[in-house]
Amino acid sequence: MTRLSLHRIVLMGSVLMILLPIACALSAGQPSQPIDPCSVRFPTTVPQIELQLLASGFTRPIYVTHAGDGSGRLFVVEQAGVIRIVRDGKISATPFLDIRDRVESGGEKGLLSVAFHPKYKENGRFFVNYTARKQGVLKSIIAEYNVSQTNPDIADRAERVILEIEQPFANHNGGLNKFGPDGFLYIGMGDGGAAGDPLNAGQSLDTLLGKMLRIDVEREPYAIPQDNPFVGRADVQGEIWAYGLRNPWRFSFDRCTGRLFAGDVGQNRLEEIDLIEKGKNYGWRIMEGSQCYDPPTMCNTQGLELPIAEYDHSLGCSVTGGYVYRGRQFPALIGHYLFGDYCSGRIWSLTEDPQGRWTMRQLIDSPFSISSFGEDEQGELYVVHYGGAVYRVTAK
């Protein structure tokens, strides 16, 4: 080999040594193929999550959601009767809605949720769930409101009440309104309160208490969908979608599969997560979670649906149902159902395997009183701290 050839080889090697890191750097800078959030049904990741402050300064916040209108706004519900807008982490000075003069608040009472119509961008309709006392009787009120025709950040205070449900006691009011993927409004109703369901409302199909309801708000005051499971049966409330619930405080739909997950608050032993399905009986007050309650032993469990997850009161005392993560920013979270406990601040994930078995893992032990989880239009998740703040869920 000539000295010139050797020189060329050394020169080419030097050029490659220079170009290779540049090529690698350019390759690393290219965005990877994005993951379709709906492609993950059986996640195998074990994410590490953090909670990053989004906004603070709220008074007893208990819910956060979006309007589905592309505005990027979040709407935070304060228990006393106020809905506030958060835009880019900043709270609007003027409330979106203030109905404190109509709401009876305190304990488990108050303005408990808001659900924006699936076509809110076109029709400006939204539906609230609150407690009020009328002629001395405590009631859960489901009412429709509209956004102002002149200001998208303020609602018109004119109200159309579509459903009133008498509450025999001050607690176990349920309180969440949420539109399902079918366009119908689902309403979670507690068993009416006190302790131990003294009215046996959970198992009684002639009352709306202790149920998951499903109604059509496209007719006035509302209509009962004809495919509801108990339509046409005598002495049965046609609004009922599922029953045997104690207090389904927070529930959600997986935006990819349509499955309905609910956190049902327990009595004094077990907190549970249920997959709510048409016409099924989730056991209360016969059972608390997977255990007999009334009677305390040898209860008849035939026809009852068991929870997909539960935990005892060594880990918390009041479950707060969450969401299946279907965002894009944190791939490790995709397909995980996140939920928490109001008392302990713990947050867990639930994942399913191809055999239908569920695994529950604790992700974080937070210092917060978790009153709710929330989801924005892109599927990113949030945690509401009853002490006055909303946090964004991040993961790695």
Q: Mean pLDDT lowest for which of 25-39, 98-112, 163-177, 327-341? A: 25-39
Q: What is the pLDDT of residue 145?
A: 98
The CA-based angle 164-179-51, given to 5 degrees, is 110
Q: Give which of 188, 189, 192, 187 is closest to 171, Cα–Cα.
A: 192
Task: State whether residue 92 is helix, strand or coil.
Answer: coil
Q: Across residues 101-113, what is the average pLDDT?
A: 98
Q: What is the pLDDT of residue 1?
A: 46
User: Tens digits of per-residue pLDDT, 290-342?
Assistant: 999 999 999 999 999 999 999 999 999 999 999 999 999 999 999 999 999 99
User: Tens digits of per-residue pLDDT, 52-85?
Assistant: 999 999 999 999 999 999 999 999 999 999 999 9
Q: What is the pLDDT of residue 31?
A: 46
Distances in Å between the Cα of 100 and the Cα atoms of 93, 146, 203, 274, 390 are 17, 17, 34, 33, 21
Asked if the model's pLDDT at residue 362 lies above 60, the reply is yes
- The amino acid present at 45, given as its one-letter code, is T
Q: What is the pLDDT of residue 388?
A: 98
Torsion of CA 336, 342, 343, 344, to 10 degrees: 20
Asked if the model's pLDDT at residue 24 lies above 80, the reply is no
Range of the structural domain that residue 77 is part of: 55-323+368-395
Q: How far is CA 19 from the centre of its chain?
A: 51
| Tokens describing residue 151 | 């200001």
Q: Across residues 261-278, what is the average pLDDT?
A: 98
Cα-Cα-Cα-Cα dihedral sign, residues 44, 49, 55, 59: positive
Asked if the model's pLDDT at residue 23 lies above 50, the reply is no
Percentage, residues of the chain above pLDDT 70: 92
Q: Is 45 within a domain?
A: no
Q: What is the pLDDT of residue 35?
A: 87
Q: What is the pLDDT of residue 32?
A: 60
pTM: 0.92
Asked if the model's pLDDT at residue 348 lies above 90, the reply is yes
Q: Is 3 within a domain?
A: no
Q: Is 69 within a domain?
A: yes
Torsion of CA 41, 319, 179, 140, to 10 degrees: 170
Detail the DSSP E strand segments found in 184-243.
185-189, 211-215, 240-243
Q: Across residues 134-153, what is the average pLDDT?
A: 98
Q: What is the CATH number of the domain that holds 227?
A: 2.120.10.30
Asked if the model's pLDDT at residue 27 lies above 60, the reply is no
- The amino acid present at 251, given as its one-letter code, is F
Asked if the model's pLDDT at residue 149 lies above 80, the reply is yes
166, 190 Cβ separation under 8 angstroms = no
User: Tens digits of per-residue pLDDT, 193-249?
Assistant: 999 999 999 999 999 999 999 999 999 999 999 999 999 999 999 999 999 999 999
The number of C-alpha atoms within 13 Å of 86 and in the hemisphere containing its C-beta is 25
212, 295 Cβ separation under 8 angstroms = no
Asked if the model's pLDDT at residue 282 lies above 80, the reply is yes
User: Tens digits of per-residue pLDDT, 180-194?
Assistant: 999 999 999 999 999
Q: Is the peptide bond before 367 cis (omega within 30 degrees of 0)?
A: no
Q: What is the pLDDT of residue 28?
A: 42
Give me the residue label for tokens 């009787």. Answer: 137
Asked if the model's pLDDT at residue 268 lies above 60, the reply is yes
Q: Is 41 within a domain?
A: no
Q: Is 5 within a domain?
A: no
Q: Across residues 135-146, what is the average pLDDT?
A: 98
Structural domain count of the chain: 1
Q: What share of the chain is helix, strand, coil (3-state, %, to 5)?
A: 10, 40, 50
Q: Is 259 within a domain?
A: yes
| Tokens describing residue 20 | 């290779």
290, 348 Cβ separation under 8 angstroms = no
**Average pLDDT score, the chain:** 93
User: Tens digits of per-residue pLDDT, 28-39?
Assistant: 444 467 789 999
> What span, in angstroms and rounded, lies between the C-alpha atoms of 129 and 81?
10
> What span, in angstroms and rounded, lies between the C-alpha atoms of 163 and 211?
15
367, 345 Cβ separation under 8 angstroms = yes
H/E segment holding residue 144: strand 137-147
